[in-house]
């Protein structure tokens, strides 16, 4: 009896044969392989990360002094609540250095009033930004020079912390012999779309930076989180501190990079349930806010930025469209890609405190991500720099601060 090729006897439910020779099938297969690899990397990597809320809070009888350093510019809306949560930290030896960076609202007055009620608060008012600095980086540098703690906690003026967060972090840092510990915050924003985007951002951030590899001394991977960078003061100063990254909009990640490059040990923990921040209040604010560091995140590379935008569309939007636009084996391959992306997204949502159902909006948030990347690059190139919180920073100067 004459043999029948396998491709001729494979059928879909509607009777259509599966065609494995179509070029679109091989593109779908390539995407499936990519997401299989990404799923393995992300799933194994996340399992290596500790949750801050699950760490013990045991400290020695005389724990190291911690200086909490934060910069605030026009943060009157969130400042009082965030600072109150910091003052409620149950760590036994704390000082606070808060830097008012040229605020034009009531930020300075709020800081002064709260300092009058709590002697642990030290307030610094910056009236003028020196040349060659980004405002936040200069403010944190100025605050660090006044800090007296053995450990420095760099945080943002809109972060809320659980009372035991710092105690748990210091305990982990000491137990593991670390010089730098970062913690990811739980992002809280109004509206479903913003939270969906934040969950997608967290997924790609993890895939790009591989934060679980930061602890490996021989790995080039590094990590830093603006909401929570706990670092030994000696390590910070040896690395040059914020002066070394004075013109980096992505200062938090670059702080981690310069500390790692000096041979110091670092790690990251998941702060869901312990740290919280309202990232942006609207989609328009999100789009404008990322003008500061979306292009900087690719080191101002046009090729990398375009590549990132193309990937967002080809790898995150197109598979969902192709499920309806393709047939046969190609459709099955794209269905497998979508199922795999959904599984990866749900696993990440669990780790970062997002709702699992946000996975259905992945193509929408990827499209928004691509739009932000392209828009930011075009604006920065057209204007010749970054305009952030009332100050313009020329690209030619920003590019000189290579890390």
Whether 290 is covered by a domain: the verdict is no
Separation CA 264–CA 394 (nearest Å): 32
Same domain, yes or no: 186 and 261: yes
Whether 142 is covered by a domain: the verdict is yes
Whether 388 is covered by a domain: the verdict is no
Q: Which residue, among 95, 92, 94, has the nearest Cα to 60 in the 3D structure? A: 92
Give yes or no for a contact between 287 and 369, defined as CB atoms under 8 angstroms apart.
Answer: no
Whether 318 is covered by a domain: the verdict is yes
Q: What pLDDT, on the 0 to 100 scale, is given for residue 16?
A: 43
Same domain, yes or no: 203 and 334: no
Separation CA 135–CA 133 (nearest Å): 6
Low-confidence ranges of the chain (pLDDT < 50): 1-17
Whether 247 is covered by a domain: the verdict is yes
Whether 329 is covered by a domain: the verdict is yes
For strand 159-161 and strand 266-270, is the pairing parallel, antiparallel, or unpaired?
unpaired
HSE-CB at 392 with a 13 A cutoff on CA atoms is 8
Same domain, yes or no: 66 and 175: yes
Last-in-domain residue among 281, 308, 338: 281
Give yes or no for a contact between 231 and 180, defined as CB atoms under 8 angstroms apart.
Answer: yes
Phi-psi region of 273 (alpha: psi -120 to 50; beta: other; left: phi over 0): left
CATH assignment of the domain containing 221: 3.90.550.10
Q: Which residue, among 143, 136, 193, has the nearest Cα to 358 in the 3D structure? A: 193
Same domain, yes or no: 70 and 201: yes
Give yes or no for a contact between 228 and 170, defined as CB atoms under 8 angstroms apart.
Answer: no
Same domain, yes or no: 223 and 308: no
Beta pairing partners, 123: 98
Same domain, yes or no: 130 and 218: yes
Whether 401 is covered by a domain: the verdict is no
Same domain, yes or no: 35 and 172: no
Decide: helix, strand or coil at residue 91.
coil
Last-in-domain residue among 242, 257, 281: 281
Same domain, yes or no: 101 and 218: yes
Same domain, yes or no: 247 and 349: no
Same domain, yes or no: 60 and 77: yes
Same domain, yes or no: 40 and 67: no
Please report, to the nearest 10 degrees, the dihedral formed by the alpha carbons of residues 277, 281, 284, 287 taken in order: 0
- Domain span including residue 40: 9-47+295-383
Same domain, yes or no: 146 and 210: yes
Give yes or no for a contact between 102 and 73, defined as CB atoms under 8 angstroms apart.
Answer: yes
Whether 394 is covered by a domain: the verdict is no
HSE-CB at 379 with a 13 A cutoff on CA atoms is 21
Q: How many domains does the chain have?
A: 2
Burial letters for 41-76: b for 16+ Cβ neighbours within 10 Å, e otherwise? bbeebbeebeebbebebebeeebbbbbbbbbbbbbb
């Amino acid at each position: 009896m004459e043999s029948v090729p396998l491709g001729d006897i494979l059928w879909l439910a509607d009777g259509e044969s599966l065609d494995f020779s179509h070029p679109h099938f091989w593109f779908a297969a390539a995407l499936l392989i990519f997401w299989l690899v990404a799923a393995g990397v992300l799933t194994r990597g996340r399992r290596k990360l500790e949750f801050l809320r699950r760490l013990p809070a045991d400290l020695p009888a005389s724990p190291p002094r911690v200086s909490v350093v934060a910069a605030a510019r026009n943060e009157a809306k969130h400042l009082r609540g965030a600072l109150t949560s910091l003052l409620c930290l149950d760590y036994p030896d704390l000082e606070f250095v808060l830097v008012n960076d040229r605020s034009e609202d009531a930020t300075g007055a709020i800081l002064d009033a709260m300092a009058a009620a709590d002697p642990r608060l030290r307030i610094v008012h910056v009236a003028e930004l020196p040349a060659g600095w980004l405002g936040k980086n200069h403010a944190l540098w100025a605050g660090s020079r006044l800090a007296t703690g053995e450990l420095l906690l760099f945080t943002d003026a809109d972060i809320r912390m659980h009372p035991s967060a710092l105690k748990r972090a210091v305990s982990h840092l000491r137990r593991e012999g670390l010089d730098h510990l970062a913690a990811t915050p739980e992002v809280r924003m109004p509206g479903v779309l913003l939270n969906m985007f934040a969950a997608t951002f967290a997924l790609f951030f993890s895939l790009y930076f591989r934060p679980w590899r930061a602890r490996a001394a021989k790995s080039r991977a590094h990590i830093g989180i603006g909401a929570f960078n706990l670092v030994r003061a000696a390590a910070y100063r040896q690395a040059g501190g914020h002066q070394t990254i004075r013109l980096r909009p992505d200062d938090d990640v670059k702080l981690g990079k310069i500390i790692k490059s000096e041979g110091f040990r670092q790690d990251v923990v998941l702060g869901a349930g312990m740290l919280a921040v309202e990232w942006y209040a609207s989609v328009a604010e999100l789009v404008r806010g990322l003008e500061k560091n979306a292009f900087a995140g690719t080191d101002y590379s046009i090729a990398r930025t375009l590549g990132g935008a193309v990937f967002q569309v080809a790898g995150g939007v197109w598979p969902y469209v192709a499920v309806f636009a393709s047939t046969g084996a190609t459709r099955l391959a794209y269905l497998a890609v979508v199922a795999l992306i959904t599984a990866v997204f749900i696993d990440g949502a669990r780790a970062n405190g997002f709702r699992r159902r946000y996975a259905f909006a992945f193509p929408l948030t990827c499209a928004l991500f691509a739009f932000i990347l392209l828009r930011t690059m075009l604006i920065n190139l057209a204007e010749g720099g970054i305009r952030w919180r009332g100050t313009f920073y020329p690209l030619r100067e920003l590019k000189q601060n290579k890390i």
